[in-house]
Amino acid sequence: MHLPHILAYFSDLVAVTAGRVVAETANLPITELSIDSRSKTLTPFPLFFAMVGINHNGHDYITEAYNKGIRQFVVNHSCNYSIIETYNDVNILAVTDTLEALHQFITFYRSKYRLPLLGITGSNGKTTVKEWMHEWLSRKYKTVSNPHSYNSQVGVPLAVSLLQPDHEYGVFEAGISQTGEMEKLARLIQPTHGLLTNIGPAHSQGFQNITQKIEEKLKLFTSCSTIYYCKDHPLIDLTLAQLYGKVLVNWSFHNPTADYLVTCKRLANQTTLQITRSTKSNTFVTPFQDSASIENITHCLVYLLDNGFDPAQLQRSLLQLKAIPMRMTLKAGIHRCQIIDDTYTNDIVSLRIALDFMKQQQLTKQTVILSDMLQCATPDHHLYQELAILLAKYAIDRLIGIGPVISHYSPLFSMSKTIFFNSVEAFIAEKPSFKDETILVKGARSFRLERVVQTIEKNTHGTILEIDMHAIRHNLSYFRRQLKVGTKIMAMVKASTYGSSSSSFELASALQRHSVEYLGVAYMDEGICLRKKGITLPIMVMKPTDDHFDAILNYHLEPEIYSLALLDELAAFISERSIQPIPIHLKLETGMHRLGITERELDQLIRQLQHMPCLHVVSIFSHLAASQTDVHDSYTCLQVEKFIQMTEYIEKHLSINPLKHILNTNGILRFPQFQFDMVRIGIGLHGVGVAPTIRPYLLPASTLKTTISQVKSIQKGDSIGYDRKAIATQAMTIATIPIGYADGFSRSFGCGKGRVIIQGHACPIIGNVCMDMAMVDVTGITVKLGDEVIIFSAAHSIDLLAEQLGTISYELLTQIGPRIKRIYYT
């Protein structure tokens, strides 16, 4: 058996943190770090840090971690040490702050290594640059880098713990959201070289201004011998010159005083980059044409040239470079399968992350499609032995290995179903069958496993709605921070989760994992679908009907009672059956004048409920009519006052104390004094549809995009589309895109009212929108078949689009049709 790498010993941990030993069984080695009790451990001596966050407390999961074999723990001094009373074979270290202790330990661990290490930061592009740099460097060195985007206060130390004696080069990215964070990450990474991608508006809430943001990010580079950056950003150039002076290496597209001058020429299907320093010039050809990719590639090329890499070898690998999706994506597959597409990295750590995500899905049958692992520091026979142990721990049903190396080690894998192919071509020729299973596809980029995904992906047209689950989590955390201790959250997932899902399941599953207390749906069938998918949270049904009471009870759903007539129907249903207590939610009419029990109906409501002891009033709530704008704040306060009076009257006469809630997304932030026991969050989770003062603190989660189906030239006088609504006043270029009003792309977008984004240009819709297509004026822009078209995204606001069309973002999101493919990024 291959002995795992030892990071340190428990005694080292005690020394570097100055913590208090609460329990000690032996001076055990530390072979891996864990912060999540749900994750599998690979090695015999893991160490668990009980981290405390906004919506979780790792101390609550110590017993679960123990049951999974962990025997070493770092806890806060304030922790309840009851685990000691149960177990006598553990090491427990108490510290003031577990995150600080994690940093102290990793700073100690990092100091053991002397190797070139590139530290990368910036607002955008840092993960792409890190991944491309890792790919280039690993062709020459055994290289380590952050898995995925592990660039936070917790992610960076976990990434640095992956350093091993055989590594020859490191590439680590660091991201921050407020002052004081980068100094901590700099001590962990200790980079020898630095690279700044750019500075933009992303994640700017924690900084006073752009200058402070630049200065904070540059603190990563205090130990660097050389810092690389683009001179075309004047404020960056000035700040770096003031702080670091002579250790700078810069490049520019137009400034001849830069160390490297770059000439960029965009051709039909590629871009040439001529990079010149002094009298020496090298020309590179790249398949990318968008500005962001060109800037990211240039960062990489300048760094590699400056560090002695062979230009000819760089060019050969450059032609193989692919756009990096950055995150795992969840896609619909053939025969009721779901696909986890993680085809851009392949190492043990990122595989564990993907397997953890796979276990969170509800389909019980699980298949892993895995390529050879390339450029790993671990010898092959040890690496594939570790891989076999890992897959066995996750109880994978079937392994499909692709590549000559993994095929060679096929006897190591113990699952009952295995199949191996030497190449992707052999896999495609064989066409293995898939049905009702979750399929993880993961591999080295050189294998181009996206071809595998294409063979098992459900056929759809080229329009995609992408949902960024990181943004959803960010928004949920933001709202949680606004709540008083103990205030519960009901997340509204009605209307297919505001258009993001055909079933609401994906978002509901994530919300369940992140411990919201309630879900709300509009109709009974939405709740049943969630139950069938494995959602166990309490679910309130807003519009129950009498013919659905049986199903509501069978699936443990909780009906909203909004009228005395509906209560009568429920009473009649109950009278015919002997049933358990039914949880119900009373909706009161306070001024919305839509649904709800009025004040004059309260006495009758109370009399009915007094004769129905099997009904358990879980909550009483109402809905604010105009919480978004201050023009109606006095009306909102009148609604709340009426709600309090009606609720107190019900509570007094029924002797109950149910949950009370009235605040919606905008109300949470504008009226914190009215939080009561629970709040309801809907479209705010998606980062849109909120008051302008709130928007900077949220991340828009949805991107609707398509591609160009055809490009054609038309002459002056030609008409475009149905009813000849557009007549060309000059020669024009028209692009047809595969989205129409059957997909939710309303006819109101037509005739110049709506615009889409192509290559950074806002292009008007010309003529009427058709059922399945629309035409776009791209005159003066060089476009081609397959070019990306953005309808809306984080950078191109759906709120602004809705304002232009005289509607609201709710309508645009919920109209997106079911035939548009949804892809979920983790």
Residues forming the active site: 494, 722
DSSP assignment of 43-102: SSSEEEE--B-SS-BGGGGHHHHHHTT--EEEEETTS--HHHHH-SS-EEEEES-HHHHH
Q: Report the sign of the C-alpha dihedral through residues 777, 781, 786, 788, in that order.
A: negative
In Å, the largest CA–CA distance within the chain is 94
The residue to which tokens 């994992």 are assigned: 513
Grouping H, G, I as helix, E, B as strand and the rest as coil, residue 48 is strand
For the chain, the straight-line distance linking the first and the last C-alpha, in angstroms and rounded, comes to: 34
- The residue count of the chain comes to 826
Calculate the alpha carbon distances from 265 to 253, 302, 498, 676, 734 in Å.
Answer: 11, 17, 43, 60, 25
- Report d(CA 169, CA 352) in Å as an integer: 23
**Strand pairing class (732-737; 774-777):** antiparallel
Residue 626 near residue 593 (C-beta atoms within 8 A): no
468 closest CA partner among 822, 53, 56: 822
- Report d(CA 766, CA 402) in Å as an integer: 47
The residue to which tokens 């199949």 are assigned: 419
- Report d(CA 189, CA 682) in Å as an integer: 39
Calculate the alpha carbon distances from 133 to 223, 317, 759 in Å.
Answer: 20, 11, 25
Contacts of 690 (CB under 8 A, 6+ apart): 628, 665, 666, 669, 683, 684, 698
HSE on the CB side for 199, CA within 13 Å?
24
- What is the 8-class DSSP label of residue 353? H
DSSP assignment of 361-416: SS-S-EEEEEE---S-SS-HHHHHHHHHHHHHHTT-SEEEEESHHHHHTGGG--SS
| Rg of the chain, C-alpha, whole Å | 29
Determine the Cα angle at 325 with ends 319 and 331, to 5°. 130
Tokens, residue 44:
């015999």
SS3 sequence of 586-647 = EEECCCCCCCCECHHHHHHHHHHHHCCCCEEEEEEECCCCCCCCHHHHHHHHHHHHHHHHHH
Q: Is 821 left (phi over 0), alpha (psi -120 to 50) or beta?
A: beta
**Strand pairing class (398-402; 417-421):** parallel
Q: What are phi and psi of 89, to 5 degrees?
A: -120, 35
Tokens, residue 79:
């922790």
- Report d(CA 780, CA 782) in Å as an integer: 7
Ordered strands of the 774-777 beta sheet: 710-714, 732-737, 774-777
Calculate the alpha carbon distances from 526 to 1, 464, 586 in Å.
Answer: 50, 23, 20
10-17 helix and 98-110 helix, angle to the nearest 10 degrees = 110
**Strand pairing class (398-402; 366-371):** parallel
